Structure 1
Amino acid sequence: MKKVFTVLLAFTIAIGFSFSSVNVEAASPKVVTYKNCTELNKVYKGGVARSASIKNVGGETKYKPFVSQAIYDANKKSDRDKDLIACEK
């Protein structure tokens, strides 16, 4: 009985991990390089920050930036003030 329970538990855990990894991949945003800040701000109103700990040094903003290292890196050229937030608004 213990052996059957152990096998079922291992199978359940394996299935759980396989579904959770699919959800993580589906939840990550698609990395797109935008032509300019106008195009980027249509999708991300507050711009894109490289990490959540970044503080804006460019002045007061109206919207909170979306946090994504991959999207920021793809659009680094749009970060004119080099504060690690591209196209803050």
Structure 2
Amino acid sequence: MKKYVSILIGLVLLLGSINSVSAKTEIITYKNCTELNKVYKGGVAQSTSAKNKGGKTKYKPFVSKELYEANKKSDRDKDFIACEK
């Protein structure tokens, strides 16, 4: 019985790690801020320490260095937050 429980736990952990790998953020380069904001309402920040220079915003940005780098062209004020809203 213990052997079956160990195998079952191992399979659950294996399947869980496979799902978490596929659940990572897909890196997409968006055409413009309108397209990016459909998915990420607050824009995309390079890191949690990025501070908005453009004034008050409604939404918190999604933090992803890779996604920010792919859409860096949309960061007009160079505050490390692309398409903040």
Range into which the TM-score falls when normalised by the shorter chain:
0.7 to 0.9
* Residue matched to 2:71: 75
The match for 2:33 among 33, 37, 43 is 37
Identity, % of aligned positions:
62
Q: 1:54 to 1:13 in 2, by over 3 A?
A: farther
Q: State yes or no: 1:87 paired with 2:76.
A: no
Q: C-alpha distance in 2, partners of 1:51/1:14?
A: 35
Q: 3-state DSSP class of the match of 1:59?
A: coil
Q: State yes or no: 1:53 paired with 2:52.
A: no
RMSD over aligned Cα, in angstroms?
2.1
Aligned length, in residue pairs: 85
Q: Residue deviations 1:12-60, cap 9 Å, x none?
A: 7865653343132122111110111111111111000111222212211
Letter in 2 for 1:42: K
